[in-house]
A and B are shown apart, each in its own frame.
Chain A
Amino acid sequence: MKYALQKVLTFILTLFLVSLLTFLAFNIIPGDPAQLILGTSASPEQLAVLHRQLGLDEPLPTRYLRWLTGFFSGNLGTSIQYSVSVRSLIAGRLPVTLVLAGMALLLIVVISIPVGVFCAKKKDTVVDKLLGTVTMINVSIPNFFLGILFIWLFGIILKCFTPGGYVDFTDDSKGFLTYLFFPALAVALPNIAVAVKFIRTSFIGQMKLDYVRTAYSKGNSDNAVLYRHVLKNALVPVVTLFGMILSEIFSGSIIIEQVFGIPGVGRLLINSILSRDFPLVESLVVYIACVVVIANLLVDILFQVIDPRIRIRSGQSS
């Protein structure tokens, strides 16, 4: 209980710092948002009126508090570029990104665990070394290059999908999911490589322990030992890795959306940065960071649920 409380407190503190850092970053920049909206030809009176409207004449702490309460009540301000509320813009784009991230996560889990276990089982054989090299290459490919390779190979040569032919979910749900498959794979592959490496090491570490020998001596087959006994223990450290991978997935999808022309949050973010639409960038950044922080908290809790030892150990130490 104490452990959970400590986690939640750290979580709240982190969220607070994330929002504070973002707010400060966008409010100490030289340049006047009012000037940006009205253009250089605006008169000083017009600027003053808009300053009042945007609340820019108030001191920094007041502005921060108002921005924060606005954030919690869902009032995120208005985009300069699109002249619509930031909230509706994000709400429209978020599902696409979440589906992409979800697909990528699914691919990572489904592929990395069996491959990692397989590598550990075949440790130091030719197959393991070969997969090790493939993994290394995968870690080293920038994901946007991977995306471009997919477009070239699967889109142009093999014609599995039409590059740039994104369809909305409401129009054609099957087409939507098919189009998202390759972007999701491009986001997933480098992370799969990291996970495979990690799972392999974790498994090899576990295989040396006494309980594995006991399990073998009871007459279990290779696979029974691996999947029924070792898997549970070896996956505990892997859960922390998945916290990190979640953040990587979001990073990756920001770029991959750009490569494949998917209208998600990432594309919105890049467009708003290029057009210097500060209210939108500010909200998007805090939004994405929050999703990552929350996901990490969930991973921490999950970690406790699957491994009672951590609960006990931290209970004793505090």
Chain B
Amino acid sequence: MKSKLNFDSRLGICFIGIILVLTVISFFYTPYNIYSMNIAERFISPGGGHLLGTDNFGRDVFSRLMCGAKFTLLVAGSTVCIGTFFGVILGLCSGYFGGIADECIMRLIDALNSFPGILLALVMVTVLGKVKYSIIPALGILFIPSFTRIARSGTLQIKNSEFIGNARACGASPVRIMFVHILPNLYPSLLTAIVVGFSNATLAESSMSYLGLGIQPPTPSLGRMLFEAQAYLFNAPWVALAPGITIMVIVLGFNYLGDGIRAGYHLN
């Protein structure tokens, strides 16, 4: 266990930890109300009463950042869950049964994968319409192919091992073999994929909300804050820098953690 907590993992955990603590605090307390506007206090520069200054409506940037990170992480988490759940089931079936099932599933996954990432999410958001959380299933579908691939290749590697043969000889059903015997062996590669998936989901979520297709205002989201701040880049660059750097810290944290875990398990 000691070897798994290398420098990269620790750095990653630190970054994610900072953001997590801030978001947990935001459930109970924010320095200012995130919706209260005060035109007299617009574009106050960082420091003093407002830690990271105020935006064009005089709202406190730091408070909005705390809540924005919360929604970004919420969406990223649900997205990765959807991707992992469906991806693992499809990948296990595809790898274990092989033949025509494998062929069908993989062709479908290939087709899904040939849409450039954000494009698929855009299609889904258009199709689902402006439901409040339509962004979650839209991004979820985006992450199914990568998990399917990982689960499938892992299954292929171990499905001919002796212990699988033994299990089969004992009369274990395919479902039992897949979920009880194969799945635990995929743990290291899936864990890495989930962590890296988090960083990709955060990027995707912020891109979508930047484009105005994520969680709808006035609920703060990091991408939307960046979009709104872009117009005032000249007089108030900090309003744009703060959410941008926050997104970066989240993504960086997950990337470092992913690298650390990968090195810890000697993957690649």
The chain A residues found within 8 Å of chain B, CB to CB, are 10, 13-14, 17-18, 21-22, 25-26, 28-29, 31, 136-137, 139-145, 148-149, 151-152, 156, 163, 201, 247-248, 250-251, 254-255, 258-259, 269-270, 273-274, 276, 278, 281, 285, 288-289, 292-293, 296
- Bound-state Cα–Cα, A22 to B199, Å: 27
B203 touching A270 by the CB < 8 A rule?
Answer: no
- Bound-state Cα–Cα, A146 to B44, Å: 24
A28 contacts across to B, CB distance below 8 A: 127
Q: Does B40 contact A (CB under 8 A)?
A: no
Q: A145-B247, A247-B117, A250-B116 are in contact. Are A156 and B233 (CB under 8 A)?
A: yes
A251 touching B118 by the CB < 8 A rule?
Answer: yes
Which residue on chain A has the smallest CB distance to residue B250?
Answer: A140
Which residue on chain A has the smallest CB distance to residue B235?
Answer: A156
Q: Does B119 contact A (CB under 8 A)?
A: yes
B123 touching A139 by the CB < 8 A rule?
Answer: no
Which residue on chain B has the smallest CB distance to residue A24?
Answer: B127
A273 touching B126 by the CB < 8 A rule?
Answer: yes
Q: Does B49 contact A (CB under 8 A)?
A: no
Looking at chain B's contact residues, is the secondary structure mostly helix, strand, loop, or mixed? helix
A18 contacts across to B, CB distance below 8 A: 111, 114-115
- Bound-state Cα–Cα, A254 to B252, Å: 23
A259 touching B230 by the CB < 8 A rule?
Answer: yes
Which residue on chain A has the smallest CB distance to residue B230?
Answer: A148
B248 touching A137 by the CB < 8 A rule?
Answer: yes
B118 contacts across to A, CB distance below 8 A: 251, 254-255
B116 touching A288 by the CB < 8 A rule?
Answer: yes
Additional pairs, 11, CB under 8 Å, beyond known A144-B223, A288-B115 = A17-B111, A25-B127, A142-B251, A144-B210, A149-B244, A151-B230, A254-B119, A255-B210, A270-B211, A273-B125, A274-B212
B-side interface size class: 35 or more
Q: Mark B96-121, 1 if CB is under 8 A from A, else 0.
A: 00000000000110111011111100
- Closest chain-B Cβ to A287's Cβ sits at a distance in Å of 10
- What are 24 A-B pairs with beta-carbon distances under 8 A? A14-B111, A14-B114, A17-B107, A18-B114, A21-B112, A28-B127, A31-B129, A139-B251, A141-B244, A142-B207, A142-B244, A142-B251, A144-B226, A145-B244, A148-B240, A151-B230, A251-B116, A254-B118, A255-B210, A269-B122, A281-B123, A292-B114, A292-B115, A293-B114
Interface members, chain B 221-237 (any A CB < 8 Å): 223, 226, 230, 233-234, 237
A255 touching B226 by the CB < 8 A rule?
Answer: no
A289 contacts across to B, CB distance below 8 A: 114-116, 119
- Bound-state Cα–Cα, A13 to B126, Å: 25
- Bound-state Cα–Cα, A293 to B110, Å: 10
Ranked 9 nearest A-B pairs via Cβ = A17-B111, A145-B244, A140-B251, A251-B116, A140-B252, A247-B116, A251-B118, A250-B116, A293-B114
B117 touching A251 by the CB < 8 A rule?
Answer: yes
Q: Which of B116, B124, B207, B256 contacts A248 (CB 8 A)?
A: B116
Q: Does B213 contact A (CB under 8 A)?
A: yes
A140 touching B199 by the CB < 8 A rule?
Answer: yes
- Bound-state Cα–Cα, A144 to B129, Å: 24
- Closest chain-A Cβ to B78's Cβ sits at a distance in Å of 19
- Bound-state Cα–Cα, A258 to B227, Å: 10
Q: Which of B117, B230, B255 contacts A140 (CB 8 A)?
A: B255
- Bound-state Cα–Cα, A273 to B121, Å: 11
B148 contacts across to A, CB distance below 8 A: none
Q: Does B84 contact A (CB under 8 A)?
A: no
Q: A14-B114, A142-B244, A251-B117 are in contact. Are A281 and B234 (CB under 8 A)?
A: no
- Bound-state Cα–Cα, A270 to B234, Å: 25
A285 touching B119 by the CB < 8 A rule?
Answer: yes
B125 contacts across to A, CB distance below 8 A: 273
B111 touching A255 by the CB < 8 A rule?
Answer: no
Which residue on chain A has the smallest CB distance to residue B244?
Answer: A145
- Closest chain-B Cβ to A149's Cβ sits at a distance in Å of 7
Which residue on chain B has the smallest CB distance to residue A288?
Answer: B119
- Closest chain-A Cβ to B258's Cβ sits at a distance in Å of 11
Which residue on chain B has the smallest CB distance to residue A247?
Answer: B116
A21 touching B122 by the CB < 8 A rule?
Answer: no
Which residue on chain B has the smallest CB distance to residue A296?
Answer: B114
- Bound-state Cα–Cα, A136 to B15, Å: 14
- Closest chain-B Cβ to A286's Cβ sits at a distance in Å of 10
